[in-house]
């Protein structure tokens, strides 16, 4: 009771004081809103001051929650990013990220290629040429990762690239510029509308080549030619509606026999295939002495300009699509395509189908039906009657209670395995990677494609590196859960990951470009391109506060605050023993070894 009366007296005095000020506050009193407020205290020891009650001075920011959010919303971040988010707030941070200007992976890829070729020619002569393989796009990708601040757009783009898949593991293997242009399609639409994503992906010559609707001809009965069905199938199965009719919560609709209802059949695939005919290049790769025409070798056309419709090669007549809908006879090819895209985009499956996939890539592998339903609702209507608004979907995913509520940390079905590329990117961003030249495109970073079975835009099939419903044997299967990323986890990748950590941390082999030829690496790169990481903050913490304080710091910037006490103690004890056995340890190597142990732990690779 005594504390209650003290509280009442304090509040009364506060508001009496407010009423006597020349500029009273009538809405609230709090941080940043306390001019003219005076609060007395019974003690002034340790420089305490009553005004700190309302000015937020000395308040400890929730860095763990901020780190957890950034672990879902970005590819990587550092301690300053965490502090900024904690001060700004999640919703405000998202709105801030929405304002960042877009860049171009195509421009970056082109600049990198020109620079490498000109420098090599300066050594070997003007006739020397560099192979422009698909991995030249990866150089552009990592250059953007290190140097650009539009981290939310980058994260969403990467997720989209794993849904609407094209890959350099195909006939596109010689065309880094094509992959860069396709990635730009996803990147520039990441905060737009999903309908535009579907359309622009359909019209991309890179997708056209990858799923074979580039130079797709109309029916020719005499020569036994039929429209290719590849893209028609995948735009339904993977890019929009999936295999079975869905409720808004992602569950299957069932028929009278209790079985799931297919969304389409083979006749529908044939009808959609007719829609995606007549498309070919809209400009030549290099100037040609003759006009454009349908049917030339695909790589003679530009891979960066959207395909053009050649109506005399487009299948005429009506097309019978889903649920009794028919595209009418007599339309142009582009009218048919737009009608088909609208038809798929407005299918009720798209919200739960794409929404669930994005949740799985960003937040958790096993979202609840309620979570999926809330995200589906945001897809169906952004609050202003707009369907497919990616900004609304992104907010719905990242701000949902299942993403933000701390109770999820105790939920055995929450969380996901960090993809290898996310681990690589997070490592690069966490410690302020830097070099003299500003070139970060020599970093292949752990040879992720070779050893970890994942390199950006180089999946083995159109089904991505792993499928969203993959279930590993054992306890996950026994609990009716999925764990998609475990598809690329085996004894080889597990050992490779540890070896990559060893190379990158203990041997500082960050800059090695394993995808380039030996000649390209050693003749084009220079010592100015060597990449280092700034560990000065962590070294100071170790020197002044010890192992536990360093581990707490790494817990925030790498593990989203999810290191268990058991893991912390294991790492601290190991480092103490090493220090004792060595008779002391240099702070730099102390930080390196501690980071190695932390990033080797299950608490790091599994994020909630």
pLDDT tens profile 76-118: 999 999 999 999 999 999 999 999 999 999 999 999 998 888 8
Of 552, 410, 591, which Cα lies nearest the Cα of 60?
552
Determine whether 510 is exposed, middle or buried from the number of CB atoms within 10 Å of its CB (0-12, 13-18, 19+). Answer: buried
45: which DSSP letter? G
- Taking alpha carbons only, the member of 352, 398, 357 closest to residue 163 is 357
> Which pLDDT belongs to residue 129?
73
pLDDT of residue 537: 94
pLDDT of residue 446: 47
Domain ranges of the chain: 2-55, 63-98, 105-239+264-346, 535-608
pLDDT digits (tens, 9 = 90+) for 23-37: 443 433 443 444 555
SS3 517: coil
The pLDDT of residue 118 is 85
Would the pTM count as exceeding 0.85? yes
Nearest to 116 by CA among 105, 132, 103: 132
Q: How far apart are the first and last CA of the chain?
A: 41
Per the CB < 8 A criterion, the answer to whether 161 and 188 are in contact is no
Buried b (16+ CB within 10 A) or exposed e, 163-185: bbbbbbebebeebbbbbbbbbbb
293-329 as b/e, with b when 16 or more CB fall inside 10 Å? ebeeebbebbbbbbbbbbbebbbbeebebbeeeebee
Q: How far apart, in whole angstroms, are the C-alpha atoms of residue 557 and residue 472?
A: 29
Closest CA to 481 of 367, 385, 405, 389: 367
Say how far apart CA 86 and CA 97 lie, in whole Å. 15
**Burial zone of 222 (CB within 10 Å; 0-12 exposed, 13-18 middle, 19+ buried):** exposed
Question: What is the per-residue pLDDT for 280?
Answer: 98
Q: How far is CA 216 from the centre of its chain?
A: 32
In the prediction, which pLDDT does 39 show? Answer: 57
pLDDT attached to residue 516: 39
DSSP labels, 283-345:
SBSS--SS---TTS-GGGB-SSSPPEE-GGGSPPS-EE-GGG-EEPTT--HHHHHHHHHHHHH
Angle between helix axes 230-237 and 266-275 (nearest 10 degrees) is 110
CB 295 within 8 A of CB 277: no
Tens-place pLDDT, residues 293-340: 999 999 999 999 999 999 999 999 999 999 999 999 999 999 999 999
Q: Are strands 416-417 and 532-533 parallel, antiparallel or unpaired?
A: unpaired
d(CA 104, CA 117): 20
Query: pLDDT below 70 — which residues of the chain?
Result: 1-61, 128, 442-447, 507-527
CA dist 562 and 71 (Å) reads: 11
Q: What are phi and psi of 47, to 5 degrees?
A: 60, 30
d(CA 234, CA 216): 15
What is the model's pLDDT at position 444?
A: 58
Supply the pLDDT for residue 499.
85
Helix (H) or strand (E) holding 280: strand 279-280
Residue 507 DSSP label = S
Q: Which residues contact 281 (CB under 8 A, 6 or more apart)?
A: 205, 214, 292, 296, 298, 300, 301, 302, 305, 307, 308
Position 57 scores a pLDDT of 43
Residue appearing with tokens 């407005």: 346
- Give residue 510's pLDDT: 53
């Amino acid at each position: 009771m005594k504390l209650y009366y003290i509280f009442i007296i304090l509040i009364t005095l506060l508001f009496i004081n407010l009423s006597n000020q020349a500029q009273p506050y009538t809405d609230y009193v709090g941080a940043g809103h306390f001019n003219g407020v005076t609060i007395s205290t019974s003690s002034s020891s340790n420089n305490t001051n009553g005004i700190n009650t309302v000015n937020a001075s000395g308040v400890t920011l929730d860095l763990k929650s901020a780190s957890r959010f950034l672990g879902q919303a970005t590819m990587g971040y550092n301690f300053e990013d965490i502090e900024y988010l904690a001060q700004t707030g999640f919703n405000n941070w998202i709105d801030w990220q929405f304002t960042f200007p877009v860049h171009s992976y195509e421009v970056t890829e082109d600049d990198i290629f020109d620079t490498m070729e000109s420098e090599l020619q300066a050594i070997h002569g003007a006739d020397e040429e560099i192979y422009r393989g698909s991995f030249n796009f990866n150089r552009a990708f990592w250059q953007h990762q290190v140097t650009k601040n539009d981290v939310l757009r980058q994260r969403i783009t990467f997720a989209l690239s794993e849904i609407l898949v094209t890959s350099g593991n195909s006939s596109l293997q010689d065309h880094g510029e094509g992959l860069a242009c396709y990635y730009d399609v996803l990147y520039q639409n990441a905060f737009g509308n999903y309908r535009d994503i579907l359309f622009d992906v359909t019209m991309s010559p890179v997708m056209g080549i990858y799923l074979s609707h580039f130079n797709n001809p109309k029916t020719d009965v005499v020569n036994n030619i039929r429209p290719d069905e590849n893209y028609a199938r995948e735009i339904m199965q993977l890019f929009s509606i999936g295999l079975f009719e869905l409720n808004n919560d992602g569950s299957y609709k069932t028929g009278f026999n209790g079985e799931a209802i297919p969304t389409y059949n083979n006749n529908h695939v044939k009808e959609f295939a007719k829609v995606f005919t007549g498309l070919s290049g809209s400009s030549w790769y290099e100037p040609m002495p003759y006009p454009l025409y349908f049917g030339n070798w695909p790589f003679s056309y530009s891979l960066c300009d959207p395909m053009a419709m050649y109506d005399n090669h487009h299948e005429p007549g009506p097309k019978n699509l889903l649920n009794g809908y028919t595209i009418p006879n007599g339309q142009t090819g582009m009218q048919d395509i737009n009608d088909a895209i609208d038809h798929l985009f407005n299918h009720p499956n798209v919200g739960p189908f794409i929404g669930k996939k994005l949740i799985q890539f960003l937040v958790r592998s096993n979202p609840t039906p309620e979570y999926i339903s809330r995200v589906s609702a945001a897809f169906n209507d952004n609050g202003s009657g707009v369907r497919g608004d990616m900004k609304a979907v992104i907010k719905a995913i990242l701000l949902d209670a299942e993403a933000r509520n701390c109770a999820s940390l105790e939920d055995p079905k929450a969380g996901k395995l960090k993809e290898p590329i996310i681990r690589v990117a997070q490592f690069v961003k966490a410690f302020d990677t830097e070099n003299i030249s500003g070139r970060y495109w020599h970093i292949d970073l752990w040879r992720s494609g070779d050893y970890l079975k994942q390199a950006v835009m180089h999946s083995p099939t159109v089904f991505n590196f792993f499928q969203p419903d993959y279930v590993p044997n054992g306890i996950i299967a026994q609990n009716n859960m999925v764990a998609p990323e475990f598809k690329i986890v085996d004894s080889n990748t597990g050992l490779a990951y540890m070896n990559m950590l060893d190379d990158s941390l203990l041997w500082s082999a960050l800059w090695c470009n394993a995808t380039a030829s030996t000649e390209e690496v050693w003749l084009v790169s220079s010592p100015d391109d060597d990449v280092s990481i700034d560990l000065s903050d962590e070294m100071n913490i170790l020197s002044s506060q010890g192992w536990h304080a360093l581990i707490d710091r790494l817990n925030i910037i790498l593990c989203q605050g999810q290191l268990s006490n058991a893991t912390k103690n294991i790492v601290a004890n190991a480092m103490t023993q090493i220090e004792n056995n060595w008779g002391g340890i240099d702070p730099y190597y102390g930080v390196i070894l501690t980071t190695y142990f932390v990033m080797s732990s299950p608490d790091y690779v599994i994020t909630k």
